[in-house]
Amino acid sequence: MPHPPRHFPDPTNPRLTRAVAGHDHTGQLQHIRVVEERPLTIFLNAQEIVTAMTIGDYPEYLAMGFLRNQGMLRDDDEITAVDYDDDLEVVIVRTTRQTSYEEKVKKKTRTSGCAVGTVFGDMMEGLEGLTLPPAEIRTSWLYALAKEINTLPSLYLEAGAIHGTVLCQQGEILVYMEDVGRHNAVDKISGWMLKHGVSGADKILYTTGRLTSEMVIKTAQMGIPVLASRSGFTAWGVEIAQQVGLTLIGRMRGQRFICLSGEGRLIRDADVAAVPDEDRKHRRKGGAA
């Protein structure tokens, strides 16, 4: 089976940013690039599910991942087509199973995430009886990944106001997605995994954003045992991580990090003294947290 295609940010894509003129604190004219936002309406078969604000790349992955993480796509569902209309800004995921989620769609709960992320009220039910795999996580992988992620060309470094989420295997980056909401970035990765049949059992999910309850829930539902971030935690995020046995690592900057759940997976094989502190020019990478 061929290796699935990997995806990395493309800050040169003219569709994702727009040039805007303004004046700085001295009154000088400045031209900067700002991130685009576009509505994307997601359908599951004939039913409209949600309209999300997104930068507009990888709409098919976003739709599939969103539906999967909301429990609307089952593991045994056969997806017959994913149709995207750029003019209408609509994506339709079609399955052989007849679906109807009218009651579920009514039970939306607004979350604390940016870009008005939404989580449906019964998402917690999907965590009952969930057991994450007993994978290991080496600190040498964490340090290597953090360094590479911080220095990769990205839309954040080009225009800011955006979050990044990265799927990793040991010390290797598989997929790096960005969006105005970290929820969208995670859903794109989930869609990529679903499309290409990639298991989360031996993976690490890294995000530039906060480790909230929704981020923990989505990671667990994707079967990924480790979630790491440059940013901090919410109490409910930590509580759910402990409940499902997810390894939760935050405040990763230079030599430092803190693990608040799933410590048993950590193997401290790196010489911390040999790990350089974070370069000042890369510290802004956490500014979107």
**pLDDT tens figures, 7-26:** 888 888 888 888 899 998 99
What is the predicted pLDDT for the residue at 289?
Answer: 38
Q: Is the pTM here over 0.95, yes or no?
A: no
Domain membership flag for residue 5: no
What is the predicted pLDDT for the residue at 17?
Answer: 87
Domain hosting 237: range is 137-282
Domain membership flag for residue 74: no
Domain membership flag for residue 151: yes
Number of domains in the chain: 1
Query: Beta strand 163-169 with 137-138: parallel, antiparallel or unpaired?
Result: unpaired
Respond yes or no: is residue 114 known to be catalytic: yes
Domain membership flag for residue 177: yes
Please return the burial class of 128, using the count of CB atoms within 10 Å of its CB with bins 0-12, 13-18 and 19+. Answer: exposed
Domain membership flag for residue 81: no
Going residue by residue through the chain (289 aa), what tens digit of pLDDT does each one get? 567 888 888 888 888 888 899 998 999 999 988 888 999 999 999 999 999 999 999 999 999 999 999 889 988 899 999 999 999 999 999 999 998 886 666 655 444 344 445 555 556 666 777 889 999 999 999 999 998 888 887 777 676 678 899 999 998 999 999 998 888 999 999 999 999 999 999 999 999 889 999 899 999 999 999 999 999 999 999 999 999 999 999 999 888 999 999 999 999 999 888 887 776 555 544 444 3
Domain membership flag for residue 83: no
Domain membership flag for residue 255: yes
Domain membership flag for residue 69: no
What is the predicted pLDDT for the residue at 125?
Answer: 65
Name the nearest CA neighbour of 54 among 214, 186, 188, 180. 180
Candidate list 114, 216, 249, 289, residue with the active-site label = 114
- Any idea what the CATH number is for the domain that residue 269 is in? 3.40.140.10
